[in-house]
Structure 1
Amino acid sequence: MARTAGAEIRLAAGSHIGASPTRTLLEDRARAERIRTAGGMVLSVGVIADGIGGENAGERAAELTVTTVFESLQHSRERNVPRLLEAALKEANERVFVESQKSQRKTNMGSTAAIAAIWSNRLYVANVGDSRIYLLRGQKAFPLTVDHTWENEIVASGKLSRMEASKHPRRDQIVRSIGYESKVKVDLGLWLQGGEESAAEARAAQGLPLKTGDIVLVCSDGLIKTRRDQRFAHYVEASEFTGLVRGRSAKGAVDRLIKKALRRQVDDNVSAVILEVPGGVYYKRFLLPAVGAAAAFAMVVGAAAWAVPRLSGAFAGPSAGPTIPALPSGVAYVSEIGGRAETNSAAGNFETLRSEQLVAAGSGVQLRTIGGTSYVRLGLPDQSIIYLGPDSQMELLEIEGESGTSLRLNGGVVLVSGQGSGSSTISVLAPSGVLAKLTGSLMGVYWDPVAGQLEVDCFGEACEIVFPGGVAMGVSAGQRIIISSQGEVLGPLAIDPSRYAFGQYAGGLVLAATPEPVLAGGSGAQPSRTPLGPLFVSPTPPPPTRTPKPPPPPPPGPAPTQPPP
């Protein structure tokens, strides 16, 4: 097993010839290993190759592809992970192509290839062909690659519409493969939006931060191809993945996936690789009955009265904070930075964010943190406080406008305190259109861009969730409410304060229970906190309010591909 960020990555791989009696060759290859590169990087790697070619040419191409990939990775001193994976596939392409030219029997042999690599608890991918990579998070499966078929390539080129291309007889032909030509174009995109985003955006998403319980699945097309006996079904549906693999060992998960395809008489080789980050908690849901949104939300709020104790005294820090000198309206002050943080310039490029910098709010003004311990603390003119947590990105839309202060959270976690001089209203908008809102209180908001899931933690008395259409739901102190991508309300649950451990529990705004010695007259845990400390120095004149129009930001949490020195 491989270690990354303190967790043991569980690895397994498996292949089967399939259920068809006419298949006599296993042309798939699957391999999962922990490796150390010549440059000293430790990676957890899973590779699938699906061979193409007559006789045993496809079998040889797949074997050579997988062997070359691992050899290339181990011998490389490259420290940029996407370039490392790209070089490995290009070397495999060269070897397979050279061998194909030596024998007429091997002419046109080739292979697909899909690589998933975990380094420093981040996921990187590379692929050629139609073998796929999925992220299983919670109870859902998210495809991270795009098949290199004639249909997808022609649609991406803009020459045909999706509907036109789907009717073409060549629609399912693979147009990229390892070894078919002397050069190959490696896809280094991590396609979080299913191919709707640009190639640049997909590549910027490389290094996706992984969470406990995440499972990466790499598979050949045999696992998910259309069934011969059911035109609109697949041998294994993506919606079945999590149910088949959760609660099993990595090897057990691989075996279960393959057996499911075999029971449905899969007519092709079938292969799977599992890379799993141990841990994770899976919550029971409040299923909303068909009684109308307002009534359903009222049921959840009613359940909150007994399901979760009121914990405002246990988690929320004191409402009084340091005195904040007068600042111009519409400007935030960067009072503290931990790790690496950036903001976009007027030209749209991201630049290093610095302590004591003034940031003028406006449409398109982005701030992001990079790294598992990074954070930014902002002070507002009314003494409100905003913390942007690790690996997070937000848009600072408005400060003290007609509706108060407004943020758009594009990924990660933000903690907002409206406990300033004016009991300020602060709203956090998620990409799903759901709004989390507080007045004169303390609230944490987390957005998972992969699962499309919003989580709201209320530490005070005045938190509210507003759904598209205007339906509002109150959240009581000490409660966590989760809104799934389907609009389901999960919870109420107890708040886990460890999410806000950055900056020593947000400078003491969030309290963590710590064990205390047993004393005469009582026992138990008492909350402890770190003093908040000074937020401001005398501000310099603010820059003019800017409303840049940058290119679309990269998906939240892009990873640094350079390891720390």
Structure 2
Amino acid sequence: MGILCAGATDIGRKRKTNQDSICLDHAHHFFAVADGMGGHNGGDIASQLSVKVMGEYLGKNNSQDPQTMMKNLIQEINRSILKKAEEQPELHGMGTTVSAVQFAGPQLVIGNVGDSRVYMVNNQNIFQLTRDHSFVQEKLNMGIYTREEAVKDPQKNVLVRSVGFEPDVQVDVFNYRVCKNDIFLICSDGLHGKVSDGDILHIVQRNISDPSRCQLSDVEQTVKELIQQANDNGGQDNISVILAVAQA
């Protein structure tokens, strides 16, 4: 299956540094977003280190079962961040989200820790495939909050799980069967926190009306417009977007 993929990261309108990083490894059909956090530049170091480890690990371990590889890779990132913080105590407390996908034949292997997200767009619908590891999501899971209440909660960005904070990180890993014309979006909360799912869907469909005929330039333009919309809506956070179109 052919994959058209493009991605970009943007500092946004309010932040002084970009603590997001993205991985576009076309050779291994692997794509990921890391949204770093932590003071003393710890956030950008954590996310950049994540992407560095991804490249090194994929080159050495791509023969593993894809689900096992995804889990082991994110755990290796976790160890690398903890080691870096041990070597440089001023970075203690840094961490990152990781939302990653790898196309493996008809399957998409998804790995997720934190509140960056993976979406699927098809047949005029948008579906969130990952589940946020946040304080507010836990309240949603327990039925304490409605989605309307969750959006207004001042703790909506507080994470209960991230990469680089604890020696053992629990990684969500699962498969999704890919169909022709499926479009997959990986993004940080700088996008999904400022642009509604409905508006994301509208922008994608406006630029990619027929996924089977779209060109790489269409995918790149969609990424650009999604980032622009997040900035137009305030751009309070760094914004990272990766879009992958599954073609025959």
TM range (shorter): 0.7 to 0.9
- 1:83 and 2:65 aligned: no
Give the equivalent residue in structure 2 for 1:61.
46
- 1:127 and 2:94 aligned: no
Match of 1:216 among 167, 180, 184: 184
Spell out the pairing of 1:412-423 with structure 2 (5 A cutoff).
none
Structure 1 gaps, min length 5: 36-42, 190-205, 226-234, 280-565
Spell out the pairing of 1:179-194 with structure 2 (5 A cutoff).
179-189=164-174
Q: Contact conserved, 1:217 with 1:274, CA < 8 A, in 2?
A: yes
Match of 2:145 among 137, 140, 163: 163
How far, CA to CA, are the matches of 1:76 and 1:15 in structure 2? 27
How far, CA to CA, are the matches of 1:154 and 1:259 in structure 2? 31
Spell out the pairing of 1:118-157 with structure 2 (5 A cutoff).
118-153=103-138
How far, CA to CA, are the matches of 2:137 and 2:195 in structure 1? 22
Give the equivalent residue in structure 1 for 2:23.
31
Spell out the pairing of 1:499-514 with structure 2 (5 A cutoff).
none
- 1:50 and 2:42 aligned: no
- Counterpart of 1:236, as a letter, is V
- Once the 2 structures are TM-superposed, how far is the Cα of residue 243 of structure 1 from its aligned partner? 2.7
Structure 2 gaps, min length 5: 209-216
TM-score, scaled relative to structure 2:
0.87
Q: Contact conserved, 2:82 with 2:164, CA < 8 A, in 1?
A: yes
**Between Structure 1 and Structure 2, how many residues are aligned?**
235
Match of 1:19 among 3, 8, 13: 13
Q: Contact conserved, 1:46 with 1:274, CA < 8 A, in 2?
A: no
Q: Secondary structure at the match of 1:260?
A: helix
- Once the 2 structures are TM-superposed, how far is the Cα of residue 209 of structure 1 from its aligned partner? 2.5
Spell out the pairing of 1:519-558 with structure 2 (5 A cutoff).
none
- Counterpart of 2:164, as a letter, is G
Note the alpha carbon deviations across 1:143-197, whole angstroms, 9 max, x for none: 00000012334665xxx542399598755410111111112110114xxxxxxxx
Higher relative contact order (CA 8 A, sep 6+): 2
How far, CA to CA, are the matches of 1:266 and 1:170 in structure 2? 19
Q: Sequence identity of aligned pairs in percent?
A: 28
- Once the 2 structures are TM-superposed, how far is the Cα of residue 131 of structure 1 from its aligned partner? 0.2
Give the equivalent residue in structure 2 for 1:491.
none
- Counterpart of 2:167, as a letter, is S
- Once the 2 structures are TM-superposed, how far is the Cα of residue 119 of structure 1 from its aligned partner? 1.2
- 1:240 and 2:209 aligned: no
Structure 1 residues 10, 162: closer, same or farther in 2, change over 3 A? same
- Counterpart of 2:115, as a letter, is D
How far, CA to CA, are the matches of 1:71 and 1:114 in structure 2? 17
Structure 1 residues 263, 77: closer, same or farther in 2, change over 3 A? closer
Note the alpha carbon deviations across 1:321-366, whole angstroms, 9 max, x for none: xxxxxxxxxxxxxxxxxxxxxxxxxxxxxxxxxxxxxxxxxxxxxx
Spell out the pairing of 1:95-110 with structure 2 (5 A cutoff).
95-110=80-95
Note the alpha carbon deviations across 1:252-304, whole angstroms, 9 max, x for none: 2211110111122211000001111137xxxxxxxxxxxxxxxxxxxxxxxxx
- Once the 2 structures are TM-superposed, how far is the Cα of residue 121 of structure 1 from its aligned partner? 2.8
How far, CA to CA, are the matches of 1:209 and 1:102 in structure 2? 41
Q: Contact conserved, 1:151 with 1:162, CA < 8 A, in 2?
A: no
TM-score, scaled relative to structure 1:
0.40
- Counterpart of 1:239, as a letter, is G
Match of 1:176 among 158, 161, 184: 161
Structure 1 residues 213, 146: closer, same or farther in 2, change over 3 A? same
Q: Secondary structure at the match of 1:118?
A: strand
Larger radius of gyration: 1
